[in-house]
Structure 1
């Protein structure tokens, strides 16, 4: 295909340096320099993305007839090394490696990417859809896509063709595939309004029916709220904050859907739900509680929440625990122990220093199925000699990374009071800083001003004694 001619900034035309995908553009018409620049950048990114797939594939651990646990643990260590190299979380690294493995089963589409005939986001979309396919269908998908004129196709046309192909190929596997697509995931919190999104994904029919049930429940409650307002009833359903009573308006359907979902009783059948072993920590600076600062609080030492929300949660709390931190650095101050099992207070402090799994790149929260682990192994024969049980030598690890640490696929070493050095398999070694209280150091000037004001304040007069001192008898004071 001949390269398109492009206008020269001085008024003439200049041929493109290479034949680029047109995406529906008319070949005979000129292309502006800014469009050509984007086309060239898109082509380079496509070729770099193909190289990335080759690099990622090197982190895949092939079974090669070895025991399943050995392969699994070696793969977990490779995932950590990949995450450290990409500076992402381990879940993302694991997904990228899996995508590179899938790419080997799509040679036709990969060749189009390598030749810059399709952009990198198109290839990633193919991988996302391919992940839901039976491996036997990948060859059919690859042949069907490679036969399409993708080089000259617009994004809309590509998207429609891909969705149609995937729907057609999954028709026979739909019952099994539908069961596999059900999942619930947390999204990154919105730090502006202090909210978090819970995303529920499932088969189309079940999600449609689930949405209809929630809507029906919300409309029923909304109708009852209207009747209660009309009849002047004192009790209004789901009016938790008296908002309906104060405004004289029922809650919106969106608000009621949320209230119904978050306040419903979960039915787990005969499966008992164990009690939560650890409390949820909300760390709020004293000045924020006093209303003298709007520095945010920290939920479980990791997620910032607005000051107004932190004050509201603290006001409704019945249990308070003092946490000592270095005011200049925010480091949590430890306390030593010669026992093997950490105390509940130590566990809570460890949850603040490692709110997520301490393995580099892992984001599994410590409040889930995590285990408190000694960085330097505890010496059962001579506890004084090494491996102390104190927060500085403890961290939280998820079950998977605790296991591969025990099997020595990864190895942490404490090199300073706030830094742990991790050896990740045979790939690399990284230094990871401890989590600290990010708020307190920013409040240090305000604390100093407050203390200085308190010191300069004149002493309050001592309260006068009752009675006339002149009439009090002399001698020894009374025995009280």
Structure 2
């Protein structure tokens, strides 16, 4: 139960949300036990009191963490400090084992918490404000001005944060945020135009293309697509009735199934298969082919290890096999132990060959900098780990796969500026030193191929099993099996299976057809 008191001040005569949010009864260990109808002193009461103290200690620990992060803040309004921001975000990403984007966000939140909202930070540091509440508050005020955050800080810090329930906190926070936003200038809908690709969140081979923009434009686009789909569907039905050529039967499904495509399928096909009008502007061809990497056993249907789209996005095995079916050319890539590594180019040559670039795109599908999640399909640089000496090429920095990786252009600029320094170790790992002077050092193992040890083991076992079956067939043709049965008697299956280990049983389940 909470009691609120309205605040008389406000904008344009409107009352602001209450700054006095109080619980009727303070939340203490004794009141907690009483509310839960527990028996003081028993195991359940002791456990719930420990959880209460653990939660408050977590708040205090999180406050100390924010204090450690806050000094890494660099003002985002100053473009001359962009390299400093990147350097510090990268150092924090390595230290916290997170992404550079997430590290940047956490540094920003630490700055806001300690510098712009100190009152609520004090409540957090004292254990009176749950960590989750504090993080939710920071997310809610992310788009506020510093002055608005200071005002919100004053309101929220006055609430009885140590005792009010979670739903009350959320309601009050939502009202407070709404009050601050009610007189903000509306965003221009035209400025929201955007097209983004979103994953389904599961490794199911599905993604979403989200088109955002002003309502009239989006509705008009939807109607045009819908009208086109209905027109094509009607023509397909007429063509089926008249025995005429079927329009837009791109995959031959209409002729095979004897029915027009659904509107949903046609809407997708209209968007996916028609040419985009660019008003005469020539669109350059893709710089690289799209790589779908499929493990060999998955390709043969002997395993369901997922494939990857450009080395990053998982694709279900069945989808990968279907895509491979439609391709006239397959590119074979050997991996350890048959690495098929390219021979190093002479040191006098700076640019890697197209074949080397394709190989790098397979081994570093994301930026090689630790914590960076940016893809390297197009927007990336082929970087020499040991710098290429343009004045004296014979002195080092060879253009070889061992001395190359792919970096997002922003991190490539950071390396050029001397803010990050990678060193390739003899075992293929890379030691990264971040900062000038150094802030953090970490070693990153080389990216392995898709389940290479598993694939190699399975292929060896498959071949051994095939040879054994061939030998048994040969013995049967020459009557050796019958002779053994006559001399040794029938096989006791129960005894034989008890002698087989797990791998032998698994091998015995394979068919006699050769695996290759």
Both proteins in one fold, TM over 0.5: yes
Conservation of the 8 A alpha-carbon contact between 1:229 and 1:245 = no
Conservation of the 8 A alpha-carbon contact between 1:300 and 1:352 = yes
- What does residue 444 of structure 2 align with? 432
User: Greater helix percent: which structure?
Assistant: 2
How high is the TM-score relative to the length of structure 2? 0.72
Conservation of the 8 A alpha-carbon contact between 2:236 and 2:246 = no
Conservation of the 8 A alpha-carbon contact between 1:369 and 1:398 = yes
1:73-222 alignment, distance < 5 Å: 73-103=83-113, 104-176=115-187, 190-197=201-208, 206=213, 212=219, 216=223
Number of aligned pairs? Answer: 434
Aligned-pair CA distance for 1:68: 4.4
Cα deviation code 1:331-368 (max 9, x no counterpart): 67343112210111111111111111111111110014
Cα deviation code 1:280-307 (max 9, x no counterpart): 1111123322223322222222333221
- Of the three residues 54, 71, 79, the one matched with 1:58 is 71
- Of the three residues 374, 381, 387, the one matched with 1:377 is 387
Aligned-pair CA distance for 1:194: 2.6
Conservation of the 8 A alpha-carbon contact between 1:6 and 1:15 = no
1:334-353 alignment, distance < 5 Å: 334-338=342-346, 339-353=349-363
| Greater RCO structure (CA 8 Å; 6+ sep) | 1
Conservation of the 8 A alpha-carbon contact between 1:73 and 1:404 = yes
How high is the TM-score relative to the length of structure 1? 0.76
Cα deviation code 1:206-240 (max 9, x no counterpart): 57657655765676577668867976558487886
Aligned-pair CA distance for 1:441: 2.0
Conservation of the 8 A alpha-carbon contact between 1:224 and 1:237 = no
1:202-351 alignment, distance < 5 Å: 206=213, 212=219, 216=223, 235=246, 242=253, 246=257, 251=262, 262=272, 273-327=283-337, 333-338=341-346, 339-351=349-361
CA distance in 2, matches of 1:355, 1:120: 36
Q: Secondary structure at the match of 1:174?
A: coil
Aligned-pair CA distance for 1:98: 1.2
Conservation of the 8 A alpha-carbon contact between 2:288 and 2:378 = no
CA distance in 1, matches of 2:45, 2:195: 46
CA distance in 2, matches of 1:320, 1:219: 37
CA distance in 2, matches of 1:252, 1:43: 56
Aligned-pair CA distance for 1:418: 1.6
Aligned-pair CA distance for 1:88: 0.6
Instruction: Report the RMSD for the aligned CA atoms in angstroms.
Output: 3.9
Larger CA deviation: 182-191 vs 276-285:
182-191
CA distance in 2, matches of 1:244, 1:221: 20
Q: Does 1:40 align with 2:48?
A: no
Cα deviation code 1:121-145 (max 9, x no counterpart): 2222222222222333222222232
